């Protein structure tokens, strides 16, 4: 038990499982390959076990912590900047890398928030099942909206498994360390917002035929002429399932749907 933290005070709503295994902390830090000129962002500093190691290696360390008491304690670590607040709401400063044992309840939102910023790499701890969805191959049960949206603008690699004995209190789930590297868009997407909505809509029907899934997406996204797109697709495509399509194939369908959507807007605007 880390000093100063009473077991009963661990807040479930904030996913407070603190890393107590020094070897795992060393491993995370070494994966990040930090140089003394870099600014590091840590989400959820907790009791500071990882924070203290990071602080020794980088130029500047900014730690975001939602729990006021923990944020106050983190302020006693020399040379770091502590932002007390919700990582989903606070403005991130410019940073080179992010190294964090993430609060699992915000894994998805915080990952997409991070990817809106330029940085070279993230070394991040996630729940194992979440990480499996991040890296899943098309056609597998874990392949999801998360996989497709992440593959559009990043590369994800699972680096190591972390047993629950590395934490206090022990979480009920297994964890893994992941490397997240932002990239340029890896395939063409005409409109980012439409693409994300399209992927979401398609995956509500992940095991239906593509024909059925496209008709649902058309309703959800107000694409009135989806029949035209369906008519253009070969029959063997229409019996495929959304979870079998590669991210690039989904992007192509999204782009075609977006063009139909834009064309219909133009028609409505014409006198
Ligand atoms: N980094 C520490 C460690 O490895 O021991 C703590 C990791 S613990 C899994 C997650 C930390 O994130 C907790 O300290 C929790 O209070 C904090 N946290 C939870 N939700 C947060 C949020 N929305 N924004 C910022 N911090 C949050």
Tell which one of 1, 23, 103 to mutate to probe ligand 1, the residue whose CB is within 8 A of the most ligand atoms: 103
Q: Which residues pair with 123 in a beta bridge?
A: 99, 179
Phi then psi for 72, rounded to 5 degrees?
-65, -40
| pLDDT value of position 6 | 45
Find out whether the beta carbon of 82 lies less than 6 Å from any atom of ligand 1: no
pTM strictly above 0.95: no
User: Which residue's C-alpha comes closest to atom 5 of ligand 1?
Assistant: 18
Cβ atoms 124, 180 nearer than 8 A: yes
Whether residue 137 has pLDDT greater than 70: yes
Whether residue 271 has pLDDT greater than 70: no
At residue 7 the predicted structure's pLDDT band, cuts being 50, 70 and 90, is very low
User: Which residue's C-alpha comes closest to atom 20 of ligand 1?
Assistant: 14
How far, in Å, from the CA of 52 to the mean position of ligand 1? 15
Q: What are 238's two structure tokens?
A: 């229409």
How far, in Å, from the CA of 165 to the mean position of ligand 1? 18
Find out whether the beta carbon of 168 lies less than 6 Å from any atom of ligand 1: no
Secondary structure of the chain in the HEC alphabet? CCCCCCHHHCCHHHCCCEECCHHHHHHHHHHHCCCCCCEEEEECCCCCHHHHHHHHHCCEEEEEECCHHHHHHHCCCCCEEEEECCCCCCCCCCCCEEEEECCHHHHHHHHHHHCCCCCCEEEEEEEHHHHHHHCCCCCCCCCCHHHHHHHHHEEEEEEEEECHHHEECCCCCCEEEEEEEECCCCCCCCCHHHHHHHHHHHHCCCCCCHHHHHHHHHHHHCCCCHHHHHHHCCHHHHCCCHHHCCHHHHHHHHHHHHHHHHHHHHHHHCC
At residue 270 the predicted structure's pLDDT band, cuts being 50, 70 and 90, is low
Find out whether the beta carbon of 14 lies less than 6 Å from any atom of ligand 1: yes
Atom of ligand 1 nearest to the CA of 2: 5
Find out whether the beta carbon of 73 lies less than 6 Å from any atom of ligand 1: no
Find out whether the beta carbon of 70 lies less than 6 Å from any atom of ligand 1: yes
Cβ atoms 74, 82 nearer than 8 A: yes
Nearest 5 degrees, angle CA 106-CA 97-CA 183?
85
Find out whether the beta carbon of 48 lies less than 6 Å from any atom of ligand 1: no
Higher pLDDT, 3 or 92: 92
- Listed residue (130, 175, 131) closest to 18, CA to CA: 175
> What is the pLDDT averaged over residues 175-189?
97
Q: Cα separation of 244 and 254, whole Å? A: 15
Cβ atoms 120, 97 nearer than 8 A: yes
Whether residue 2 has pLDDT greater than 90: no
User: Which residue's C-alpha comes closest to atom 12 of ligand 1?
Assistant: 44
| pLDDT value of position 265 | 75
β-pairing, 80-84 vs 18-19, is unpaired
Whether residue 46 has pLDDT greater than 90: yes
| pLDDT value of position 3 | 41
Secondary structure of 59-125 in the HEC alphabet? CEEEEEECCHHHHHHHCCCCCEEEEECCCCCCCCCCCCEEEEECCHHHHHHHHHHHCCCCCCEEEEE
How far, in Å, from the CA of 14 to the mean position of ligand 1? 6
Kindly report the average pLDDT of the chain as a whole number: 93
Cβ atoms 181, 123 nearer than 8 A: no
Express each pLDDT in 53-86 by its tens digit. 999 999 999 999 999 999 999 999 999 999 999 9
């Amino acid at each position: 038990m880390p000093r100063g933290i009473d077991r009963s005070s661990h807040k479930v709503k904030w996913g407070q499982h603190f890393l107590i295994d020094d070897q795992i902390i060393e491993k995370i830090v070494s994966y990040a390959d930090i140089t003394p000129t870099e600014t590091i962002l840590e989400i959820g500093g907790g009791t500071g076990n990882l924070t203290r190691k990071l602080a020794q290696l980088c130029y500047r360390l900014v730690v975001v912590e939602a729990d006021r008491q923990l944020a106050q304690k983190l302020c006693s670590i020399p040379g770091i900047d502590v932002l007390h607040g919700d990582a989903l709401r606070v403005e991130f400063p410019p940073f080179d890398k992010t190294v964090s044992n993430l609060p699992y309840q915000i894994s998805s939102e915080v990952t997409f928030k991070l990817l809106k910023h330029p940085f070279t790499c993230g070394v991040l701890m996630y729940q194992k099942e979440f990480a499996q969805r991040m890296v899943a191959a098309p056609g597998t049960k874990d392949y999801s909206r998360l996989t497709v949206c992440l593959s559009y603008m990043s590369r994800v690699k699972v680096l190591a498994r972390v047993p629950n004995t590395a934490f206090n209190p022990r979480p009920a789930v297994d964890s893994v360390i992941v490397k997240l590297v932002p990239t340029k868009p890896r395939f063409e997407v005409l409109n980012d917002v439409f693409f994300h909505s399209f992927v979401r809509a398609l995956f509500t029907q992940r095991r239906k035929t593509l024909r059925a899934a496209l008709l649902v997406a058309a309703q959800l996204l107000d694409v009135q002429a989806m029949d035209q797109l369906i008519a253009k697709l070969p029959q063997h495509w229409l019996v495929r399932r959304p979870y079998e399509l590669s991210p690039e194939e989904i992007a192509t369908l999204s782009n075609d749907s977006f063009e139909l959507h834009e064309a219909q807007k133009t028609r409505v605007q014409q006198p």
